[in-house]
């Protein structure tokens, strides 16, 4: 049985991947500091509660577990927070990735899957954006992930036996179809989560950050992708690396997008609640449009998205929001 070491496996995306790995028969060990994750969301394998900045524990854990591959989800992911607190992002996303790679080297682990982001592209010239577009992030979150990608590339150049897959996520949303896990971070600032929490009455209104973007309705456009489709992409990326595949970068998105207004309309339809919306100024660090060119991942990994349906995405998130009763950590 192949062993996979998963950082951030108690978090939103990580926990869905741990579920997919467990279902596919892998042995999983999650390493998470529970800063935004929850114990109960780790459905398979053991959980080690520790921080990536604790290099001693990290190295010991990896050397003892002897993983066949590492998947690295643990990170800070809130764009506006990264604009306010850049050092937190360079520490948690760049420096901690470096710590993990040092531990991987020590443990002789040669296969690595990295959670990257469409934010590395910034305001790309061409949309949908392909993997060859220049990395030109417009916020510290994107920069912190770009730097980690560059470290990975250099690791591969220095040692050709070290191979990584970097998955550049677009806007991940929705929840496990079986409603066992989902986004459970109280402070989540993501649009769909905020819209649903507003529908539930946890917030009085939903703010629309900017209506003067160069898009048809003036609000930002994003490529929203269901978290279980992202999880499948990880299992395929893992099989690719275990099958001696070489380092690659893949976009993970559906290839089309929705504006903030369209998402709000869909959330109102799915919930049947006409919650209050307030149009306000732009939020710092938001590119106007982010849509994936997903040709490469479909061809090379044979990834076939199953849930490319905004209403289904919102429906699973809504079912989840109404079922977990705010059980945090």
Contacts of 128 (CB under 8 A, 6+ apart): 223, 253, 255, 256, 291, 292, 293, 294
- The interface mask with ligand UDP, positions 195-234, x = CB under 6 A, is -----------xxxx----------x-x------------
Other beta carbons less than 10 A from residue 190's beta carbon: 20
Q: DSSP readout, 163-213?
A: EEEEEEE-EEE---TTSS-----TT---HHHHHHHHHHTSSS-EEEE-S-S
Whose Cβ is closer to ligand UDP: residue 47's or residue 263's?
263
- Asked whether the beta carbons of 251 and 131 are under 8 A apart, the reply is yes
Whose Cβ is closer to ligand UDP: residue 103's or residue 172's?
172
Whose Cβ is closer to ligand UDP: residue 35's or residue 189's?
189
Whose Cβ is closer to ligand UDP: residue 204's or residue 299's?
204
- 250: helix, strand or coil: strand
How far is it, in rounded angstroms, from Cα 103 to Cα 305? 33
> Nearest distance from residue 140's CB to ligand UDP, in Å?
13
How far is it, in rounded angstroms, from Cα 71 to Cα 64? 17
Whose Cβ is closer to ligand UDP: residue 147's or residue 267's?
267
Question: Exactly one of 190, 226, 234, 261 binds ligand UDP (CB under 6 A); which one?
Answer: 190
Phi/psi of residue 105, nearest 5 degrees? -60, -45
- Asked whether the beta carbons of 230 and 294 are under 8 A apart, the reply is no
Stretch 146-175 residues interacting with ligand UDP (CB under 6 A): 171
Tell me whether residue 141 is one of the annotated catalytic residues: yes
Which of these segments, 58-66, 184-192, 233-241, 307-315, binds ligand UDP (CB under 6 A)?
184-192
List the one residue out of 173, 171, 175 whose CA is nearest residue 252: 171
> Nearest distance from residue 195's CB to ligand UDP, in Å?
7
Stretch 257-316 residues interacting with ligand UDP (CB under 6 A): 260, 283, 286
Stretch 60-99 residues interacting with ligand UDP (CB under 6 A): 79
| Catalytic residue (one of 26, 44, 141, 258) | 141
List the one residue out of 78, 248, 87, 94 whose CA is nearest residue 171: 78
Whose Cβ is closer to ligand UDP: residue 42's or residue 172's?
172
Which of these segments, 6-14, 154-162, 187-195, 239-247, binds ligand UDP (CB under 6 A)?
187-195
Find the residue with minimal CB distance to ligand UDP. 220
- 2: helix, strand or coil: coil
> Nearest distance from residue 209's CB to ligand UDP, in Å?
4
How far is it, in rounded angstroms, from Cα 31 to Cα 181? 18
Binding site for ligand UDP (CB under 6 A): 79, 171, 189-191, 194, 206-209, 220, 222, 260, 283, 286
List, by residue number, the catalytic residues: 141
């Amino acid at each position: 049985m192949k062993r996979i070491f998963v950082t951030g496996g108690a978090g939103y995306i990580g926990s869905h991947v741990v579920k997919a790995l467990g279902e596919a028969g892998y042995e999983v060990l999650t390493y998470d500091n529970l800063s935004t994750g929850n114990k109960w969301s780790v459905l398979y394998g053991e959980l080690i509660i520790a921080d990536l900045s604790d290099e001693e524990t990290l190295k010991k854990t990896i050397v003892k577990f002897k993983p066949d591959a590492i998947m690295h989800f643990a990170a800070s992911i809130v764009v506006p927070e990264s604009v306010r607190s850049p050092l937190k992002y360079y520490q948690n996303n760049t420096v901690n990735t470096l710590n993990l790679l040092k531990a991987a080297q020590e443990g002789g682990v040669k296969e690595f899957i990295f959670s990257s982001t469409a934010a590395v592209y910034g305001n790309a010239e061409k949309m949908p954006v392909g993997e060859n577009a220049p990395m030109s992030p417009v916020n510290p979150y994107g920069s912190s992930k770009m730097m980690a990608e560059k470290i990975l590339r250099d690791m591969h150049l220095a040692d050709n036996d070290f191979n990584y897959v970097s998955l550049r996520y677009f806007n991940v949303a929705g929840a496990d179809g079986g409603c066992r896990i989902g986004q459970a971070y109280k402070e989540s600032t993501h649009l769909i989560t905020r819209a649903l929490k507003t529908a539930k009455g946890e917030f009085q209104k939903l703010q629309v950050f900017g209506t003067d973007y160069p898009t048809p309705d003036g609000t930002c456009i994003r490529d929203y992708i269901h978290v279980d489709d992202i999880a499948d992409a990880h299992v395929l990326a893992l099989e690719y690396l275990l099958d001696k595949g070489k380092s690659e970068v893949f976009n993970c998105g559906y290839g089309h997008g929705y504006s903030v207004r369209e998402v709000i309309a869909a959330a109102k339809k799915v919930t049947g609640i006409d919650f209050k919306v307030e149009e306000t100024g732009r939020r710092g660090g938001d590119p106007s449009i982010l849509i994936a060119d997903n040709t490469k991942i479909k061809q090379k990994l044979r990834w076939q998205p199953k849930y490319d349906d905004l209403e289904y995405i919102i429906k699973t998130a809504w079912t989840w929001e109404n079922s977990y009763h705010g059980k945090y950590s």
